[in-house]
Structure 1
Amino acid sequence: MDVLTCGHVAHKGNGRLCRHLLGEGSDLEDRVWHLTGTGLDRDVVCTACDTSDEPLDLVEACEGCVERAQEDDANVIAIRGAPGVGVRDEPIRTDTWRTPLPHEVIDVAAVPDSPATWLLLTPDRVLRWNADTGEVDREARYELATHSFEVWAEREPRTRVHAADGGRYVAVGVDYGRFGKVLDLDTGSVTMELDRGEYHQNTVPFPLAFVSTEDGLRLVHGTAWNRLDVSDPATGELLTRRDFVSVGNERPEHYSGDFQGRLHLSRTGRYLGLDGWAWSPAGLPRVFDLHRWLRVNVWESEDGPSLLTLALRWYLWETPMCWTDDELFVVWGIGPDDEIIVPGVRVFDPLTGHEVRAFAGPTGSGALFSAGSALYSADPGGLTRWDLSTGERTGTVTGFVPTHHHPASRELVELRDGAMVRWRLPG
């Protein structure tokens, strides 16, 4: 091996740097990515080199120096050029079919373990409906408390429904709002009243997720802007009781300053993905071990050892996210903030928080779904399929833009013109 420009005897990194990003103190330099057009390959330069009239003076450096400059995106202030998007056309089914909905709905949720079974949300009722038979076998009325709010960044409050395994228990909550309820569809009764407070609740969706555990069904829910709790949805019993204790004017131990938003439960129910933000504001996609929270450490969701921050994105949160079958967490958006972003996804290991791969292509305009070895992105022109291992686009279903996934039916669905448009996943 030769001695590289960075002064190290090592393998060359995949990309080049300007000389000002070598050596001590280089991590403090603002920098610019220059995408080469081959995947996400990029050269990295300081702002002085980027704005100079002279041609870029790029040098080769070792893998460690290059990776450090490329992966540390906190000081990235611009991205030049475009990424390369790999394409490998493979056969894909393009046929969809329509199932008329029995009522006008404002939201739906798949009953995760019951094929073809859905919850339908109207302005005053929740119905359990079978899309194959058309039968409605349960329904319950609900009414949510109202409160005044200010719409922030075009985030209009929207009432959403969340389904538990079996479809008996239902959570209804207002995204960018304050209140919610848990209903028992067998009895029509309200088992829990939900309230997460009014402090900037208009910036994030209502955190809600059912999880089936060895000890029974549980509901993870927001109880304050910066706090999640777990309750028994049948009785309302709080299972994560804990109190913050202040000493003088110091912040209490375990106190979190993070806003908790949409929750993403992994396929096995082991991990929880969190989408939220913290001042200034910065989006903070995170993961933690739900089993540790329930069985080992009641503070796990605040500062437990399994709680990992995957990225920091200024002014950017509530982006598409999903879990893969092998429990990797996929987060849309490559870059440091809402104005400097490459359309694409990053894939993280929830055990370590390390990025295991990233690729450009998915637009981020709609939801992400994963099944088998494929990632599916609801893009403006239709559904696109991506190989999670190579990052190549392998197929498109034009004109179909799904919003929901039914894991038991292996279907993606779109609500359109009073009907559920359905598309079967392979396998």
Structure 2
Amino acid sequence: MTVDLRDRHVRAVTPAEQSPHSYFVFADGRLLRVGAGSTRCDPIAEVPSIREIGPGTGEGRESELRLYVHGPWVCVTERFGVNAALVNTATGAVRELSRADYHADVSSYSIGFLDRGGRTLLVAQTRWNRLDVFDAASGACLTERIGEVEDIDYFHSLLHVSPDSRHFLSNGWVWAPVDMVRVFTTEAFLTGYEPTSIPVGTAFGYNWDRPCTFVDARTFVLALDDEAAEHPYRQLAFFDVPGEPDERLEPHTLVSCDVFPRNEHGEVKGELHYDPESRHLVALTDGAGAFLVSPAGEVSARLPDLMVGGHGGQAGWSYAPRHRVFFRWNGGSGIEERRIQDCDRAEP
């Protein structure tokens, strides 16, 4: 039985990987599927463990929810809460997940999917400084700690996975607090856990979950804050994951660019993606629109009305690299899409 969400509050949206113009949405405690331009949805599963009103410092406020998708799997999270759920959209089966509540109200729930040996694995945060890897189909934990394992003083946050699943990043922070990105190699993590990570050696501040994306299997790029007044500002920093363990990873290229506006603290906000077809970065900003940016920092095109944060009562936009579309839930008309080709034709 279809459900019309025209007058309902849709809490999160993500594109289906396997079909263009098809989306998963979360509303009224349920995961549903909907096509672009429609408000009529097909229910998939009830997910009662997800709290839509925040606890702790967010008591009484709406929780920010996020959806992560990989093939038939969708993971629903309370971004700044403690609950998550993995849904098999082919069967409707739901597996509840949780993380310990230690500064969860300021750290994004860490979730990522990996392909390994023909299986889909889920990387999920279980404590503030611990990730575990689960077999998506069976639920088996592949990273049970045996004996004493060295802890690291690190708060995990948003994860970014390389296209080949061999590496992933945690976009988190450490006390005092100060943000710090850490780099993981999947095979090393499965046996050595957090101590195998490499910290990224760039001066950061109080701005974790910064714009970040992989460009290829080993290269990733971070958008940097403007904090070091004694140095010329370079907004984009490119890194290569090393083939051997290293104590600290330094950028191999710093690029001048100005697509991400800086707030009063010099911080950048938004999303960063990579479009292999055009070989451009896709920068989705909070206030300046969306940009196509070459690896050299040159702006090729801009869509000024696409903001990552909601403005004027409208939901914010996001980007689906696989389908090359910007998307958002637009109330009475359902999913609204803008193709990256529209950005290609826009004036820089």
TM-score past 0.5 threshold: yes
What pairs with 1:58-97 in structure 2 (closer than 5 Å)? none
Change (3 A) 1:117 1:307: farther
Q: Which has the larger radius of gyration?
A: 1
TM-fit CA distance, 1:421 = 2.9
Identity rate, percent: 24
Distance 1:412 1:243 in 2: 44
Change (3 A) 1:156 1:227: farther
What pairs with 1:321-340 in structure 2 (closer than 5 Å)? 321-325=212-216, 327-335=218-226
Give the match for residue 377 of structure 1. 283
The answer as to whether partners of 2:159 and 2:168 remain within 8 angstroms in 1 is yes
Distance 2:90 2:271 in 1: 31
Give the match for residue 232 of structure 1. 135
Name the Cα RMSD after superposition: 3.1
Q: 19, 26, 29: which is aligned to 1:124? A: 29
Q: 188, 199, 208: which is aligned to 2:111? A: 208
The reply on whether 1:159 has 2:45 as its aligned counterpart is no
The reply on whether 1:143 has 2:34 as its aligned counterpart is no
The answer as to whether partners of 2:110 and 2:157 remain within 8 angstroms in 1 is yes
Change (3 A) 1:134 1:356: farther
The reply on whether 1:111 has 2:16 as its aligned counterpart is yes
Distance 2:62 2:195 in 1: 31
TM-fit CA distance, 1:229 = 0.3
Change (3 A) 1:233 1:161: same
Distance 1:342 1:143 in 2: 47
Give the match for residue 404 of structure 1. 318
The reply on whether 1:367 has 2:265 as its aligned counterpart is no
Q: 120, 130, 135: which is aligned to 1:217? A: 120
Give the match for residue 276 of structure 1. 172
Distance 2:100 2:70 in 1: 24
The answer as to whether partners of 2:35 and 2:335 remain within 8 angstroms in 1 is no
Higher relative contact order (CA 8 A, sep 6+): 1
Q: Which moved more, 1:355-364 or 1:411-420?
A: 411-420
Give the match for residue 288 of structure 1. 184
Change (3 A) 1:327 1:118: farther
TM-fit CA distance, 1:355 = 1.2
Distance 2:50 2:318 in 1: 27
In structure 1, what residue type is equivalent to 2:338? W
The reply on whether 1:421 has 2:314 as its aligned counterpart is no
The answer as to whether partners of 1:113 and 1:408 remain within 8 angstroms in 2 is no
Q: 124, 143, 159: which is aligned to 1:263? A: 159
The answer as to whether partners of 1:273 and 1:329 remain within 8 angstroms in 2 is no
The answer as to whether partners of 2:74 and 2:87 remain within 8 angstroms in 1 is yes
TM-fit CA distance, 1:104 = 4.1
String of CA shifts for 1:56-102, please: whole Å, max 9, x gaps.
xxxxxxxxxxxxxxxxxxxxxxxxxxxxxxxxxxxxxxxxxxxx976
Aligned residue pairs total: 309
The answer as to whether partners of 1:400 and 1:414 remain within 8 angstroms in 2 is no
The reply on whether 1:307 has 2:198 as its aligned counterpart is yes
The DSSP-based 3-state class of the residue aligned with 2:252 is strand
Q: 238, 245, 255: which is aligned to 1:347? A: 238
Distance 2:49 2:318 in 1: 24
TM-fit CA distance, 1:269 = 1.8
Change (3 A) 1:197 1:326: closer
The answer as to whether partners of 1:288 and 1:308 remain within 8 angstroms in 2 is no
Give the match for residue 356 of structure 1. 252
What pairs with 1:36-51 in structure 2 (closer than 5 Å)? none
In structure 2, what residue type is equivalent to 1:190? V
**TM-score normalised according to structure 2 size:** 0.78
The answer as to whether partners of 1:345 and 1:362 remain within 8 angstroms in 2 is no
Unpaired runs of at least 5, structure 2: 244-248, 261-267, 309-316
**TM-score normalised according to structure 1 size:** 0.65
Change (3 A) 1:236 1:151: same
Q: Which moved more, 1:214-223 or 1:138-147?
A: 138-147
The DSSP-based 3-state class of the residue aligned with 2:235 is strand
Distance 2:161 2:137 in 1: 20
